[in-house]
Amino acid sequence: MHKDDGWAEESSASASVPLALRRVLGLVISGEATNRAELARRSGLARSTVGQQVENLVGNGILQEVESRRSVRGRPPRVLTISPQAGTVVAVDVDTTASHVAIADLSRRLIAQDTVAVRIDAGPRIVLDAVSELLRRLLAEYDRAPGRVREVVVGLPGPVDFQQGCAVQPTGMPGWDGYPVAEHLRERFRAPVVVDNDVNLMALGEAEQGGAEMPLLCIKIASGIGAGLVTAGGDVYRGADGAAGDIGHTRAVSGGNVLCVCGNVGCVGAIASHRAVLRGLGIPESTDDDPLHGTRVLAQRVADSDPAALHAVRQAATEVGEVVAVLVHMFNPRSIILAGPLSELRDDLVSAVRAAVYQRALPLATRKLTITATQLKGRSGLHGGIALATRDVFGPAGIARLLADEPGAAGSSGSSGSPTSPPRPSPDGYQATGAG
């Protein structure tokens, strides 16, 4: 959370929530306890204390206590679950040709998802307004109260200042550098907004929803190449300034003098990204009628065993594998997940990356390593956004807001603004206003 955004500090929020309540809620959220007896046994709290905290949580609409559907003799036992009406979290995955959005309840149950076909180079205002309009429609269509949106998480395909909630010097995203994305959406939904790199969210989604073992490294091969790392403890590693994982600008073995969009030459993204492969084969990336034209044509040419297409994909995968081998030595992940448009060409992509990694990395680092393509079909970023949002909602500050029923109160890191804060300029000169 911003140190100067006018919100209460995390420690004060934590102090306002009884430890017993946090313990009870945590056990229900994790599934370790589903009824009052289990809560008393696992928490070590007195039954009267458990009963008091359960009544508090049920009374505030955070939990619900319902009869079990299990077939038993006598009166069915009552079980505790997160209330479906406790609130809604929103995930937005902004990509180059379209933005994907999803809404979920606080148990991470996906309620709805949809796509808005606006290119990222249309600029942040147009893209974010289109996303906001679609989200409002989904909330209305599925009878989710806009005032109970608890957090919005946005993934952007470029370096992100997680604290300020904006992109920082992204390539191929005109107008996005420093634009206050968090402020923009917070004005419209009056809820905390977190902005993160899209591959970070994809990695978290693979860890949470895909069931991959951690530490986990997710590699996205799209218009550029990026990586997201989830540690053994389940946390996203972002680095000191949010630049961790921007591996597309690593010097490639066969990079030569190929010019990259960053201004350097020989970057792996310039010769091995999905965009670079299409360019090398003379395939247009998109058309007016089909934004995924290049992806479809390349997939068909590979399926038809076109020699040039097969060679291009395998060569790109080998270049990526060389970089990934270095990451394997640095982070020693248990799982590597390949994502992005090229991941749909599973056999050719995965086998070439595996070959490069196993050839370059030492046996100690690879003996338990698994390298696979994503199974989440382009939705890992949305699942990661939902996971990150619910973590924040059930953190100490988030619980305090739930109890006060103030969805627009303080956000975690990456959120911005205050419902009563006056308009103020952001560090880059954009005018940002509170959502009062």
pLDDT digits (tens, 9 = 90+) for 208-263: 988 889 999 999 999 999 999 999 999 999 988 888 999 999 998 888 889 998 88
Mean pLDDT is lowest, of 66-75, 234-243, 245-254, 341-350, for 66-75
348: phi > 0 → left, psi -120 to 50 → alpha, else beta; which?
alpha
Mean pLDDT is lowest, of 67-76, 117-126, 271-280, 331-340, for 67-76
The first and second tokens of residue 149, run together, are: 């949106």
Residue 385 CA to residue 375 CA, distance in Å, equals 17
Q: Is 90 exceeded by the pLDDT of residue 119?
A: yes
Q: Identify the H or E element spanning 81.
A: strand 78-82
* Residue 356 · residue 315 · CB < 8 Å: no
Q: Are strands 166-167 and 63-67 parallel, antiparallel or unpaired?
A: unpaired
pLDDT score at 351: 92
Q: What is the mean pLDDT of residues 99-121?
A: 95
Report pLDDT digits (tens) over 82-104. Answer: 999 999 999 999 999 999 999 99
Report pLDDT digits (tens) over 377-405. Answer: 889 999 999 999 999 999 888 988 888 87
Residue 56 CA to residue 61 CA, distance in Å, equals 9
The DSSP secondary structure of 355-418, one letter per residue, reads HHHHHHS-HHHHTT-EEEE-SSTT-HHHHHHHHHHHHHHTSHHHHHHHHHT-TTS---TT----
Q: Is 70 exceeded by the pLDDT of residue 295?
A: yes
Cβ-based neighbours of 300, under 8 Å, separated by 6 or more: none
Q: Is 50 exceeded by the pLDDT of residue 323?
A: yes
* Residue 294 · residue 302 · CB < 8 Å: no
Query: Could you give phi then psi for residue 237, rounded to 5 degrees?
Result: -95, 115
